[in-house]
A and B are shown apart, each in its own frame.
Chain A
Amino acid sequence: MPDLFTYRNSLPEQPGADGPLSGMRVAVQPNLSVNGWPCNAGSHALAGYTALADATTVARLTRSGAVLIGSSHMAELGFGLADDTIIQIIADGRAELALITDTMGEARVAASGAGLFGFKPSYGLISRCGLMGLVPSMECIGLVAADPARIGRALAVMAGSDPDDPSMPDDCAAGFSADLPPITAQPTAGIVAEWLEGLNAAERSAFESSLARLDAMGIATRQVNLAPSGLFRDAHQVIAAVEASSSAGKYDGVRYGHRSASGKNWNEMYLNTRAESFGPLIKPFLFQGAYFQFENYSAFENACRIRGRLMRAVTDLLAQVDMLVLPTRRPAHDPGRATTIEETYDAFGLALPANLTGHPVLQVPDPTLAAGTDLGLQLIGRRLDDARLLSIGRQMSSIAGEGC
């Protein structure tokens, strides 16, 4: 079996600092800066790059007693989950928490495949300082663990304003409290009919039976309507590709990483370096972005406008119900085997709406269903209502524990 790690902490057994996370073992992907660790973001363009400082989140975790055990393999620049090994590290019990960059739903989809909780916080709640990202307006450090309370404890440490990330919105400054609130008033959940349109009969019935736990908690569900999921996907793809194409420019591969030996002048050297550095999945994605950027900019502007409308529509719906529920993934689409952009988007089709709108979303595993049919259940909450989502998740897991 190939090694699950690209880098292992040489002192993993060393007890961490005293603190709320004392002893918690954390695995990361190599796109999150840990001082002195190789940090290549899964890309040849960053081959051999060593982080110069701890990411803010990493510094906060270790200061609170968590121990970083190592970094995994990952899909190039965090686009999808192909070749990613981090979930296996958690599934094998080598770590209690995994940090997975969630741009299209990677943390949740990986978690659902392994029967774990995966959480993408409200956009901007966690500092991105030290994250070698690709799609700045959508990506977020996601948290994966077997227990939502653990996610809540880690999030409390990681969240909140960071002077090193001035892009964090003001409403996130206060951060997040570790004490998950008790659920008092009975929450309501909306089921977006348009989001379920692509599901087959088996998937529909699996989803419906997973709603039983919400019933058991007294959470009333009702059907609501929204734009078709394809619109979310298209807007996501255009914007993400453009942002990736533009911001991946800084991974030039010349000052660090792989530098081409060929080229008769600097211009050719740069071109060859980039051509040789990027892999077969990310390269067409960057091309796609470049196409919209240079040849069809109005499509990008339209996608941004559509995104704004969709954000408002979801926010408006969430004024009527406390959360939206939908499956996390479709088992036929394996993100680990996706080799094209379309296959990658197929694998994350149900997860990416929350990245587009920035709302917090929790993936809840469904242990009551037979292996292989677990679609996972996503709860999308109101902006900054992250704690309540985790509370509901905790209660759902306790219901499952009672053999419901």
Chain B
Amino acid sequence: MKYEAVIGLEIHVQLNAATKLFCDCPNRPGDEPNRNICPVCLWLPGVFPQLSREALEKGVLACLALNCVIQPESAFDQKVYYYPDLPKGYQLSQHHKPLARNGWVDIVAADGQVKRLRIHHVHLEEDVAKLLHETEGRTPISLVDFNRAGTPLIEIVSEPDMRDPHDAMEYIKALRDQLRYTGSAECSLEQGTLRVDANVSLRPLGSKALNTKVEIKNMNAIRNVGDAIAYEITRQTECLEKGEPIVMHTRLWDPEKKVTTPMRAKFEGPCVPDPSVARIVIDDAWLEAVRQRLPEMPAHKAARFMDAYALTAEEAAAVSAERDLSEFFEAVVAHALPPRKVAGWIAGQLFSALKERNRSVGETRLTAARFAELLNLVEREVINTQAAREVLIRLLDSDAPLEEIVEKGGFRQISDTTDLEALVQRVLADHPADVQDFRNGNPKVLGFLMGQAMKTSQGKANPKLLKEMLAKRLG
């Protein structure tokens, strides 16, 4: 029998509000343990949680970015479970009345078609404390760090619309890109500011049934989510083929061994409304004011880039995935440079240079004007592409005039025919066998000799001229 996977994701996203959800403690879980605490987030008796306005605004902005309907009224419940990271015995979460419902994101499915994935609801909740297990020493001890207790989260619960690992990974990427655009969350699986739980079940292809699902946790990269779901689909298929029933349980992804293993689930009880936490009532004027702050979303921007700048779909998607780079792109294009060339440079060179250094463009010295100036040098063939890449790296940390960087670094392109002629002579003299090879009818050798010549010039030769002269000499 052929099976179809039914996948739903529950995603926790940490909002980057300055304070925790219900108190004024700094929202910096990574600080020295138990530094950012107060009676409210230690959950001591007699104190009342006070909802942070900023967290609410960022949560609403995030929901709007996911096309959700903000509920006029939402409220917090006590979600009961016992675990030492939650010593008060319940987590404040919105169970009965979530902040927002009925959202969606669009992705490009594996078959190349645009697919709309629905979001069931988004709710606000407080994070729990963090356990540190010290296993060294005679007696193993568990320590509790309350810095994370009470930090603001949204939980985004999808409909079970995903059918394969590709869908799930694209969904997370789309969600991440859109939330980052709003500036309300960092959304990094690696840093733990976005956490994914995947629910996976199988059904015979063509069936509409929703069968027993298995939950997978502990995936800290988007790739891991895809791998874990793929593993789980294979595992469940094998179970069904062997006639073993699927039982509802939770499994942990092991990124080393690339398998999921069953874990003991936390006991989760029902939710009781908490009358001690103020209800959230959102009026239209306030909501409209927040909506005004919603930037143009990546998909919309990509479409506009294709339209306005004649970018291809891939180019447009690449330069619009991150808000700051997309704005940088438009600022550079404004300097009358060919848009597709700019897009190529940003999506290729700049993007990877920033990624390698783990910085955003705003965290460098690079400005749109200087980037445009650099591309102009390339356009005017003052420097070649290879040199421009080097100069770009320097511009990330330098305010020195571009001319100075080019001159001092010896990046200026050699376009002097006498110099190039000498270079060609030398390369041909150094590789007589290859020259012979070419003359015997192997055209591929030209590329090799070009490479040798560029290398000898330390990358500074004008490649167009060089190639012309080389071909002439050989011919």
Given contacts A246-B78, A293-B80, contact A166 B45 (CB under 8 A): no
Question: Using Cβ atoms and an 8 Å threshold, which residues of chain A touch B80?
Answer: 246, 249, 293
User: In the complex the two chains form, is B87's CB within 8 Å of A252's CB?
Assistant: yes
- Residue from A129, A131, A136, A165 whose CB has the most chain B CB atoms within 10 Å: A136
* Minimum distance in angstroms from B218 CB to a CB of chain A: 21
Number of interface residues of A (CB under 8 A): 39
Across the interface, which residues of A come within 8 angstroms of B272, CB to CB?
242-243, 246, 293, 300
Stretch at the interface among A48-56, A91-99, A200-208: A48-56
B142 touches A (CB below 8 Å): yes
Q: Please tell me if the beta carbons of A249 and B89 are within 8 angstroms of each other in the complex.
A: yes
Cβ A270 vs Cβ B84 within 8 A: yes
In the complex, whether B275 has a CB less than 8 A from a CB of chain A is yes
CA distance A55 to B80 in the complex (A): 27
CA distance A41 to B270 in the complex (A): 27
Whether A252 contacts B46 by the Cβ 8 Å rule is no
What residues of B have a CB within 8 angstroms of the CB of A137 in the complex? 275
Q: What class of interface size applies to chain B in its complex with A?
A: 20 to 34
What residues of chain A lie closer than 8 Å to B50, measured between beta carbons? 163-164, 166
Rounded to whole angstroms, the CA-CA distance of A300 and B80 in the bound complex is 15
Question: Within the complex, what minimum Cβ distance (angstroms) separates B471 from chain A?
Answer: 77
Measured CB to CB, the residues of B under 8 A from A are 39, 42-51, 78, 80, 82, 84, 87-90, 142, 269-270, 272, 274-278
Q: Are B88 and A249 touching (Cβ within 8 A)?
A: yes
Q: Which of A49, A164, A246, A266 has the most CB of B within 10 A?
A: A246
Cα distance A53–B87 in the bound complex, in angstroms:
21
Contact A129 B275 (CB under 8 A): no
Contact mask A66-94 → B, CB, 8 Å, 1/0? Answer: 00000000000000000000000000000
A46 to B89, CA, bound (A): 15
Kindly supply a per-residue 1/0 record for chain A positions 240-270, scoring 1 wherever the CB is within 8 Å of any chain B CB and 0 otherwise: 0011001111111011100000000010001
Known: A33-B46, A129-B48, A166-B50. A246 touches B90 (CB 8 A): yes
Contact A293 B278 (CB under 8 A): no
Enumerate chain B residues within 8 angstroms of A266, measured Cβ to Cβ.
Answer: 84, 142
- The chain A residue with its CB closest to the CB of B78 is A246
Q: Which residues 169-218 in A have Cβ within 8 Å of B in the complex?
A: none
A166 close to B278 (CB less than 8 A): yes
Which residues of chain A in 89-148 are interfacial with respect to chain B, using CB atoms and an 8 Å cutoff?
A: 128-132, 136-137
Is the Cβ of B46 less than 8 Å from the Cβ of A129? yes
C-alpha spacing A242/B43, complex, angstroms: 19
Which A residues are in CB contact (< 8 Å) with B44?
Answer: 52, 256
Q: Which of B39, B89, B274 contacts A52 (CB 8 A)?
A: B39
7 residue pairs from A and B, CB less than 8 Å apart: A131-B46, A163-B50, A164-B47, A167-B278, A246-B80, A247-B274, A270-B82
New contact pairs (15) apart from A166-B48, A167-B276, CB-CB < 8 Å: A51-B46, A128-B276, A130-B47, A137-B275, A164-B47, A164-B48, A166-B278, A167-B277, A249-B80, A250-B45, A250-B90, A252-B87, A254-B87, A270-B82, A294-B269
* Contact between chains at A293 and B269 (CB < 8 Å): yes
Which residue in chain A gives the minimum CB-CB distance to B278?
A: A166
- List the A residue with the shortest CB-CB distance to B39: A52
Instruction: Decide if A55 touches B46 in the complex (CB within 8 Å).
Output: yes
In the bound complex, do residue A250 and residue B277 qualify as a contact, i.e. CB atoms below 8 Å apart? no
- Residue from B45, B80, B274 with most neighbouring chain A CB atoms (10 Å): B45
Are the CB atoms of A165 and B48 closer together than 8 Å?
A: yes
Instruction: Note all chain A residues with C-beta closer than 8 A to B42.
Output: 255
